[in-house]
Amino acid sequence: MPKMKTKSGTKKRFRVTGSGKIKAGVAFKRHRLTSRPQQMKRQARGTMILCDSDQKIVLKYMPYQR
């Protein structure tokens, strides 16, 4: 049986932590930041851990990251 392919968009956007959780960047940080609250911009720094329901979706696209 041939190898399963990983979605290339998924491998660019997500990383798997050592404990198996999915790490992703926070949304809404690219442009029009002057109209966004300062608190939202502070909280959107760095990365975030996806919730369990979103992790299941992402792991379908990453067959060898389980």
Radius of gyration of the chain (CA): 15
Q: And the tokens for 14?
A: 């997500």
Residue 14: the pLDDT is: 97
| Residue 3 placed within a domain | no
| Residue 36 placed within a domain | yes
- pLDDT of 66 > 80? The answer is no
Range of the domain at 14: 8-60
Residue 52: the pLDDT is: 96
| Residue 30 placed within a domain | yes
CATH number, position 37: 4.10.410.60
Give the chain's domain count.
Answer: 1
22 burial via Cβ count (<10 Å: 0-12, 13-18, 19+)? buried
Which SS3 state, helix, strand or coil, does residue 66 take? Answer: coil
Average pLDDT over residues 11-24: 95
DSSP 5-39: PPPHHHHHHEEE-TTS-EEEEPSS-SS-GGGS-HH
Reported as a single tens digit per residue, the pLDDT across 31-51 is: 999 999 999 999 999 999 999
